[in-house]
Amino acid sequence: DTAVSQTPKYLVTQMGNDKSIKCEQNLGHDTMYWYKQDSKKFLKIMFSYNNKELIINETVPNRFSPKSPDKAHLNLHINSLELGDSAVYFCASSNEARWEKLFFGSGTQLSVL
Amino acid sequence: GIQVEQSPPDLILQEGANSTLRCNFSDSVNNLQWFHQNPWGQLINLFYIPSGTKQNGRLSATTVATERYSLLYISSSQTTDSGVYFCAVVPGSGNTGKLIFGQGTTLQVKP
């Protein structure tokens, strides 16, 4: 009964490859997010979707493409992976109408070799 | 843009001690949350507290929005409290949902 689940937990891949991270929430929230945490633990928002519509798109390389098939799912696809993409990626969700708490998934540690 | 500064950056406590973590922000906010990232990397939401005081067990938080700071109190600390504590805010004029995080306070509680 995990609230926000993302897979995989670990992702090790070579430079130049394409990879995807999947996220699902069962909280009934209408807004989902992708955050990136760098090696210094700094957390920064990348994208936000509200009811499948992109509402926040930070300055992120266009190699990163989020996709939301429905409001319970938000996937992140990364093309042509680079060494600098290595980080922990967190999915999160909230309720826009009653915007209070943000709930995070367990994170995906991406290592690009 | 808004600046979020947390202090201290690092804190070492003996089990049973109390501590106060501080979060200063440079502009008005309409949302403030505290998170705990445990040593396994999981981010747990502790409080949603844009103003006022809340308590949850040994933890409590106070936000004084007019003076642009928030405090997180940990009483009778336990080793399981170790990890990184983040303060995050949504600027008053900003997009709903765009939480801006501070750099965190790393807490180590020794047995």
B31-61 tens-digit pLDDT? 999 999 999 999 999 999 999 999 999 999 9
Q: Which residues of B touch A50 (CB under 8 A)?
A: 97
Whether chain A has a CB inside 8 Å of the CB on B33: the answer is yes
Q: What is the pLDDT at residue A56?
A: 81
For residue B111, cis peptide bond before it (omega within 30 degrees of 0)? no
* Res. B92 pLDDT band, cuts 50 70 90: confident
Interface list for A 51-110 with B (CB within 8 A):
55-56, 88, 90, 94, 96, 99-104, 106-107, 109
pLDDT, tens digit, for every residue of A55-99?
888 878 999 999 999 989 999 999 999 999 999 999 999 987 656
The amino acid present at B58, given as its one-letter code, is R
Q: Which parts of chain B are beta strand (E)?
A: 4-7, 10-14, 19-25, 29-37, 43-48, 52-56, 59-64, 69-74, 83-91, 100-101, 105-110
Question: So what's the pLDDT on residue A7?
Answer: 96
